[in-house]
Amino acid sequence: MRPQVTAFFDDATFTVTYVVTDPASKAAVIIDSVLGYDPKSGWTNTEKADEVVAFVRAQGLEIAWILETHVHADHLTAAPYLKENLGGQTGIGDRIGTVQQAFKDVFNLDGSTPTNGSQFDHLFTDGEIFAIGSLEARVMHSPGHTPACATYVIGDAAFVGDTLFMPDYGTARADFPGGDARILFRSIKQTLSLPPETRLFMCHDYAPNGREYLWETTVAEQNATNIHIKDGVSEDDYVTMRTARDEKLAVPVLLLPAVQINMRAGHLPPPESNGVSYLKIPLNTFR
């Protein structure tokens, strides 16, 4: 089964949103959408989401799901906006509560923020199978970058979130709360045990060494050439490399606002008495 995959690249956050379509039925899902956000002013915008809306309507697609591979730390999700305009259910891996609890403590959030994943319409279990028209989709729990990362295998394509990048950029960091380099290695190896011809779609690309932006590769290419985890790299060597590399990485620019929104399935914090929603920025606590 070969789904049609259409990519929308957000150059402000280097994020790729996918519309994955069953050509036979026009059923489709949206994976890892982007809500525009200006960290200087606090304003949001739907420019990139509107591109997705226009495409879906022009193609006459029926959106079944609006999926997240994980709670993103580098962009805000547009899931509620897309659901309002296109329908569909929101979904994420069922370990989301672990991430919510960790960041609830970071932000000292009150009881208005549940940590059971109830903000999402559906929580996918590891190995769960669901349909997109005539296409079969399967969920692979892929922890390590975060405890709740999920890979969606749809026909001959897999959407890997932040676990992997293009082979010349490597793999995800594992130093966020609940992250673990050893677990990430095992998750990636599980993904790379899919058939060699499986198409792999990245959530981000940063165009190293000035090349053009790319976001599609294959299991075979990753196993042969990924600079961090190609065939022959041992688990211990990977953990040593990943740990040393993560110690030098800066906190993502949008982590503090993004996590607070994304752990709520894209919903803004409840407005205060003046009708304005506020984010919390912990001082001298998060590294």
- DSSP letters of 61-73? -EEEEEE-SS--S
pLDDT tens digits for range 27-44: 999 999 999 999 999 999
30: β partners: 19, 66
Q: Considering the chain, what percentage of its residues have pLDDT values greater than 70?
A: 100
- Relative to beta strand 62-67, strand 27-31 is parallel
User: What DSSP assignment string belongs to 144-155?
Assistant: SSSTT-EEEEET
pLDDT tens digits for range 194-209: 999 999 999 999 999 9
What are the residue ranges spanned by the domains of the chain? 4-251
> Comparing C-alpha atoms, which of 165, 205, 169, 206 is closest to residue 188?
165
CATH class held by domain 4-251:
alpha beta
Predicted confidence at residue 1, as pLDDT, reads 80
